[in-house]
Amino acid sequence: MPELPEVETVCRGIAPHVIGKAIQELILRAPKLRLPLDPQLCRILPGQTIATVSRRAKYLLLETDQGGLLIHLGMTGVLRLLPAGTTENKHDHVDLIFTDGTCLRLTDPRRFGTFVYSPDKLLNHPLLKNLGPEPLSDSFSGEMLYHLSRGKAQPIKVFIMDQKVVVGVGNIYANEALFRAGIHPVRAAGRIGRQRYQRLVIAIQEVLRAAIDAGGTTISDFADSEGRPGYFRQELLVYGRRSGPCCYCGRAIHSCRIGQRSTFYCSHCQR
- Any alpha helices (H) in the chain, and if so which ranges? 4-18, 41-44, 142-149, 156-160, 171-181, 194-214
Is residue 6 part of the annotated active site? The answer reads: no
> Which candidate in 3, 8, 63, 176 is catalytic?
3
> Which candidate in 2, 5, 135, 155 is catalytic?
2
Farthest-apart Cα atoms in the chain, separation: 61
34 is in an annotated binding site: no
Picking from 145, 132, 53, the residue whose alpha carbon sits closest to that of residue 96 is 53
25: buried, middle or exposed (CB in 10 Å: 19+, 13-18, 0-12)? middle
> Which candidate in 5, 8, 56, 58 is catalytic?
58
d(CA 156, CA 3): 19
32 is in an annotated binding site: no
Picking from 85, 127, 126, the residue whose alpha carbon sits closest to that of residue 102 is 85
Picking from 171, 173, 178, the residue whose alpha carbon sits closest to that of residue 199 is 178
d(CA 240, CA 217): 12
Picking from 91, 269, 75, 102, the residue whose alpha carbon sits closest to that of residue 183 is 269
Is residue 261 part of the annotated active site? The answer reads: yes
Is residue 58 part of the annotated active site? The answer reads: yes
> Which candidate in 12, 34, 233, 261 is catalytic?
261
Is residue 134 part of the annotated active site? The answer reads: no
254 is in an annotated binding site: no
Residues labelled as active-site residues: 2-3, 58, 261
Q: Binding site for DNA: what residues are annotated? A: 91, 110, 152
Q: Binding site: what residues are annotated? A: 91, 110, 152
